[in-house]
């Protein structure tokens, strides 16, 4: 039992209001950091924006209540600033944070095709992700989802930690491509060592993904390894592609 849980049990009247007061395994911010935003529920993501709850109501409970009261994200997105400020536990600061987050989501969803990056060569993918991946101290595997014009439709994180053939499930890597009916993907992951030279395990992973893509009619166009010293296109090297 964690120290957080022991404190909670020893104080029956204790109700965590801030994310840092929650038991470690229940903190949305830490889960977002370790597992990626895709692993969080709508309530968890909203809790990250809200940051704090109120007396006798945790921040996650507050987020859950707001979503339930307004019929989910779509309903919450229609609530005005004034209406949000009047909700118990919100106020002006939290209303601003929530509305700003919702507006960013709306703007991302409404991007015109001309605003979306286009992948023509491996360098395009490297420039798109190097700032985010090159300095990570853990391996992170991303999937660049492409439409028929090779425009980037999304870049979900699929794995965080040891990206190895032993644990990787091709169906999970390609799940978002199947769900969104995207015809092709580019797989990208980083080497925290800084050296982007593909390992034998990287080659095995690539071979499995290419094979799974063929079975699902999804083109795995490349697997790019990113490091502080640059990147390697495994397709260009003929590694894992045949």
User: For helices 42-50 and 91-109, what crossing angle results, to 10°?
Assistant: 130
Count CB neighbours of 96 within 10 A.
14
Mean pLDDT of 9-32: 59
| Residue among 68, 106, 76 at smallest CA distance from 94 | 76
Region of poorest pLDDT, from 21-35, 90-104, 149-163: 21-35
18 φ, ψ to 5°?
A: -105, 155
Cβ proximity of 215 and 180 under 8 Å: no
CA distance to 16, 119, 125, 126, 184, per residue, from 150 (Å): 46, 6, 11, 15, 8
pTM equals 0.59
**What is the DSSP track for 184-195?**
EEEEEEE-TTS-
Contact of 225 with 231, CB cutoff 8 Å: yes
| Average pLDDT in the chain | 84
Asked whether 116 and 151 are in contact (CB, 8 A), the reply is yes
Q: Which residues pair with 233 in a beta bridge?
A: 224
Position 24 scores a pLDDT of: 57
pLDDT of residue 8: 41
Q: Where are the domains of the chain?
A: 3-109, 115-237
Q: Which CATH number fits domain 115-237: 3.40.50.2000, 3.40.50.300, 3.40.140.10, 3.30.360.10?
A: 3.40.140.10
What tokens appear for 84 in the block? 């949000």
Comparing 123-127, 141-145, 161-165, 169-173, the range with the smallest average pLDDT is: 161-165
Tokens at residue 16, please?
């965590």
Q: Lowest mean pLDDT: which of 88-92, 158-162, 183-187?
A: 158-162
Which of 60-69, 127-136, 172-181, 204-213 has the lowest average pLDDT?
Answer: 127-136
Q: Does the pLDDT of residue 17 top 70, yes or no?
A: no
Please state the φ and ψ torsions of residue 43, each to the nearest 5 degrees. -65, -40
Q: How much is the pLDDT for 2?
A: 42
The model's pLDDT over 201-214, given as tens digits with 9 standing for 90+, comes to 999 999 999 999 99
- Lowest-confidence segment of 78-82, 121-125, 180-184, 234-238 by average pLDDT: 78-82
Here the tokens at position 23 are 């038991």
């Amino acid at each position: 039992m964690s120290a957080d849980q022991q404190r909670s049990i020893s104080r029956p009247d204790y109700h965590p209001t801030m994310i840092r007061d929650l038991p470690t395994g229940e903190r949305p911010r830490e889960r977002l950091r370790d597992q990626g935003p895709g692993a969080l529920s709508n309530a968890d993501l909203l809790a990250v924006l809200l940051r704090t709850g109120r007396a006798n109501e945790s921040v996650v409970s507050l987020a859950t209540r707001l979503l339930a009261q307004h019929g989910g994200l779509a309903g919450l997105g229609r609530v005005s600033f004034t209406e949000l400020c009047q909700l118990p536990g919100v106020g002006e600061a939290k209303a601003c944070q929530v509305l700003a987050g919702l507006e960013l989501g709306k703007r991302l969803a409404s991007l015109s095709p001309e605003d979306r990056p286009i992948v023509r060569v491996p360098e395009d993918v490297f420039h798109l992700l190097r700032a985010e991946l090159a300095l990570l101290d853990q391996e992170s595997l991303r999937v660049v989802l492409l439409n028929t014009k090779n425009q980037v439709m999304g870049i979900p994180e699929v794995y965080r930690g040891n990206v190895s053939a032993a644990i990787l499930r091709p169906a999970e890597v390609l799940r978002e491509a199947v769900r969104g009916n995207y015809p092709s993907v580019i797989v990208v992951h980083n080497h925290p060592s800084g050296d982007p030279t593909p390992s034998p395990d990287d080659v095995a992973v690539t071979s499995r993904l290419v094979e799974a893509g063929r079975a699902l009619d999804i083109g795995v166009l490349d697997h790019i390894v990113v490091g502080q010293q640059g990147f390697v296109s495994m397709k260009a090297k003929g590694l894992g592609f045949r």
